[in-house]
Amino acid sequence: MKRIVIIIVAVLLLAGLAVGGLYMGGFIFAAPEEAAAEEPAPEPTLPELPAVVYFELGNVILPAYRGGQFRNYINFVFRIEVADEATVEKLRDRTPHMRAALVADFSVAPIETEDGPADFDDATVRARVLAALRRATGKDAAGEDIVRGVLIDRVLPIRG
């Protein structure tokens, strides 16, 4: 009697595992193919991105301090986000003014490095550069800031 009960339990267990495998594999209890074919999946749409043009402001050498003591200079290449190509032409004429504004701003309060020669807070430097460039370039005829954003493209520490 025990053998019959064990065999029945084993057969039911194997049948349950087989049904579970077929269900997980999608062979049974799956949606009919006709229903799936009638409802097309919606196509994903990407949002419209505004046109962005970058102006490269290269070889800006700014001082870096660590622990309140001068450590070195850092050579930056910034990519400045502007609205269009006409604005890029305006900024090419203002390049010396923008460099002077950055050097003046960072000479008063230099970049504070932590461990290495170029270990600084990226977000803080970008925010300070953006503020200094907005002061140096002013506003356009529509009253909007010419400089929309700043990216740090390259960083090269220079021993002072």
Look-up of token digits 């010396």: 96
Domain with 70 in it: what CATH number? 3.30.479.30
Domain count, the chain: 2
**Can you give the residue range of the structural domain that contains 122?**
53-159
- Tell me how far apart the alpha carbons of residues 128 and 152 are, in angstroms, rounded to a whole number: 12
The sign one gets for the Cα dihedral 160, 135, 148, 113 is positive
Q: How confident is the model at residue 87 (pLDDT cuts 50, 70, 90)?
A: confident
Q: What does the pLDDT read at residue 71?
A: 83
- Tell me how far apart the alpha carbons of residues 8 and 5 are, in angstroms, rounded to a whole number: 5
Q: What does the pLDDT read at residue 36?
A: 54
25 pLDDT exceeds 90? no
50 DSSP assignment = P
Stronger pLDDT, 127 or 21, i.e. the higher one: 127
According to DSSP, the residues that pair with 78 across neighbouring strands are 57, 152
141 DSSP assignment = T
Q: Is residue 69 part of a domain?
A: yes
For the segment 99-147, what is each residue's pLDDT rounded down to a tens digit? 999 999 999 988 888 877 678 888 999 999 999 988 888 776 655 788 8
